[in-house]
A and B are shown apart, each in its own frame.
Chain A
């Protein structure tokens, strides 16, 4: 499989008459874009904003981030989700780089939603403060979940995907600034030089813990909860086969943008043929029942072994209960003599003194750690808030609270906030671009 990603670098975004891209300036016809968003009758209110790095803007509750793309030759950017099923990862896709489409709730947040500060001291906590962002702030008629802590956010997330496809289509007849090629020879057809290098599989554990449909990450539109670990080509992940879900405290979450750009895949590609032989991706999942966890680990280890993997990288989208899947998978791989490195974050508590993972095993001897979900963060008032600040305190967002005996509510009268890192939008970047680690004090 060969994927060509044609990249268009976006220097600036503005609203204007014609939705177009010229000399790195993306112009968006707001009315037309809003019409695309409102194609779904469940969207009741929608407005678009543009934010750039350094802007003193706070976005909350953020539900999703997507890279605008266009599938050359036709077809949905997200097969099985925004259109019919088709093979992802084999062909040409255009991408608007250095920007994302962000989806923000106009009023209601939930457990899985996060916060982004585009400027000031809070900016360092999320990746998305470095990007130019087209921000959709919207509400829906999904009244049934407005007051629920767990939200599927279906109308808003799908509106974000439609918007990103609409924006991505500006590249249709243009020539990209650069083309990146992603190609792996079939596993059994590789040269001796490549075969002599240590072989590596990447095991991804996307979020799939909700038994009820509508919350979990989707694989070609299929609920990852209903899936057993399966072998995938990394190009499929980079090209829209996976979309983010709507569950898990936000700093541990992987957005759709994270899947589209998954830095660990890009790094393994970069090393392929030089220091390693990148075999591919084993797409596993995260489960609730122990038997399901064990079954998934068993499948992963068997596949790695059958593929002849010398080593593996395991990354989990979550913490707490999913740590058991993470540890179980690493132990199963090590028991199969696959040398494994784990990629995760930790939950050491507000005082940093708690056990870092719920489940620990001595065989997990190589871990890269990306942060503490429960670090307390205090941030001053921000001039502009897109969405609704009160959502952080009111709606059960994972890093916010309406009352705490000592700390009070997360949102203060003067507009300043106190929260746990948990609510930073995809803040721990366990997909590979975290420059955070953990240190003992």
Chain B
């Protein structure tokens, strides 16, 4: 079987930060960490090529870099794809994630990368691929490469995969039932947990509830104030101009878009649609105002209840989107609104 590895300019032995604008290149055979990877893969998988790209180049020209690399890979035999390890390097981690995601989408092969838990790439991509828990620096190169390779072999051989924590990758948010071996009944587990909890000892829940990051509800706006204020429309319902110009993902979104509505009163069929993959889109495609109620807002505006509607509406997709990504996008949108002095917004879902 054949595999290919992605590296940045540093580990691809092109050079350091000064060469971070290095454009994607594909080399036959093994470069840098590819040798360690090949050593663990042994005779089972041959790493035929190494791809190298500068972190800055892919960071500022993501789409171009991804497209170039995908076209380089076309026609190559690929059974599995590796990227990194990226350790704690943020841009490198993000690059590994983008490339792995594109390779998985294009070639439908398993993709594996590795990052340190402080690498922002982990939160961006853990739901979409196997991101192994890597060390902070290149000192753990051998260990991290070995973990990726061993798991890759397991995947290719179709062996039974164990839970994320056992295999060593960041959980992808996929929860499945397993039988405990040796078997321990629910009643026994309850008592064990209960005794630890009442005695103030550490215990491990079997279902971690994510910490909610609540924002205090702002004081109400008086009708008088509202009649002079512009109100912004935001949605996680995936309403976009037909064609989806910002290529917002249909699930697990990492992007948001803003679309000019200053000259229109209605989101008409054929010009706006939803790209949200988590609900039946028929009604929203027929009339996108059911999600982004521009028509109703214009009516309020005419009646003088609101001062106006902000010139853009903002859109992303909520389904499968991580709290971390949602929170980042929310902050980015809030900055735009604050800059323009907007103090009221309506956020709609599906």
Interface residues of A (CB under 8 A from B): 124, 198, 200, 263-264, 266-268, 271, 275-276, 310-311, 313, 339, 341, 343-344, 346, 348, 351-353, 356-357, 360-362, 364-372, 375, 421, 429-441
Contacts and interface: CB of A to CB of B under 8 A. Distances in A.
B243 interface: no
B187 to A, nearest CB: 3
B115 to A, nearest CB: 17
Among all A-B residue pairs, the 7 with the closest Cβ atoms: A432-B187, A440-B171, A439-B163, A267-B187, A435-B183, A352-B174, A367-B207
23 contacts: A266-B187, A268-B191, A311-B194, A346-B175, A348-B174, A356-B175, A357-B207, A360-B209, A360-B210, A366-B193, A367-B209, A368-B189, A369-B207, A370-B186, A434-B185, A435-B180, A435-B186, A437-B178, A439-B164, A440-B164, A441-B172, A441-B174, A441-B175
A371 B163 CA distance: 14
B173 A440 contact: yes
Given A367-B205, A430-B186, 8 more contacts: A264-B187, A267-B188, A353-B172, A360-B209, A366-B197, A433-B186, A434-B185, A441-B176
Contacts of A124: 179
Contacts of A438: 175-178, 206-207
Contacts of A352: 174-176
Contacts of B191: 267-268, 271, 275-276
Contacts of B185: 263, 267, 432-435
Contacts of A432: 185-187, 190
Nearest to B182: A435
Contacts of B346: none
A371 B178 CA distance: 7
A181 B181 CA distance: 31
Given A267-B187, A362-B211, A375 B320 contact: no
B218 interface: no
B117 to A, nearest CB: 15
Given A310-B198, A339-B197, A433-B185, A439 B190 contact: no
Nearest to A312: B194
B178 A436 contact: yes
A400 to B, nearest CB: 19
B42 to A, nearest CB: 26
B276 to A, nearest CB: 15
B165 interface: yes
Q: Give the interface residue-count category, chain B.
A: 35 or more
A276 B203 CA distance: 17
B184 to A, nearest CB: 6
B161 interface: yes
Contacts, number: 148
A266 B188 CA distance: 10
Interface in B295-331: 320
A440 B174 contact: yes
A423 to B, nearest CB: 15
Contacts of B176: 348, 352, 372, 375, 438-439, 441
A353 B187 contact: no
A441 B175 CA distance: 6
A20 to B, nearest CB: 34
B175 A439 contact: yes
Interface in B141-187: 161, 163-165, 171-180, 183-187
Contacts of B163: 439-441
A353 B320 contact: yes
A440 B130 CA distance: 12
Contacts of A437: 177-178, 180, 189, 206
Contacts of A346: 175, 207
Contacts of B205: 364-367
A441 B161 contact: yes
B175 A440 contact: yes
A254 to B, nearest CB: 13
Contact of A436 (B179, B190, B199, B207): B179
B263 interface: no
B70 interface: no
Given A200-B194, A343-B190, A433-B187, A362 B175 contact: no
A50 B121 CA distance: 58
Contact of B194 (A313, A344, A372): A313
B60 interface: no
B179 A366 contact: no
B105 interface: no
A266 to B, nearest CB: 7
Contacts of A267: 185, 187-188, 190-191
B280 to A, nearest CB: 13
Contact of A264 (B172, B183, B190): B190
B283 interface: no
B212 interface: yes
- Give the one of A313, A367, A437 with max B CB within 10 A: A437
Nearest to B167: A441
B195 interface: yes
B209 A365 contact: yes
Given A343-B186, A430-B186, A441 B171 contact: yes
A372 B199 CA distance: 30
A311 B194 CA distance: 8
Contacts of B184: 435
B237 to A, nearest CB: 18
Contacts of B210: 360
A353 B173 contact: yes
B60 to A, nearest CB: 32
Contact of B206 (A268, A348, A367): A367
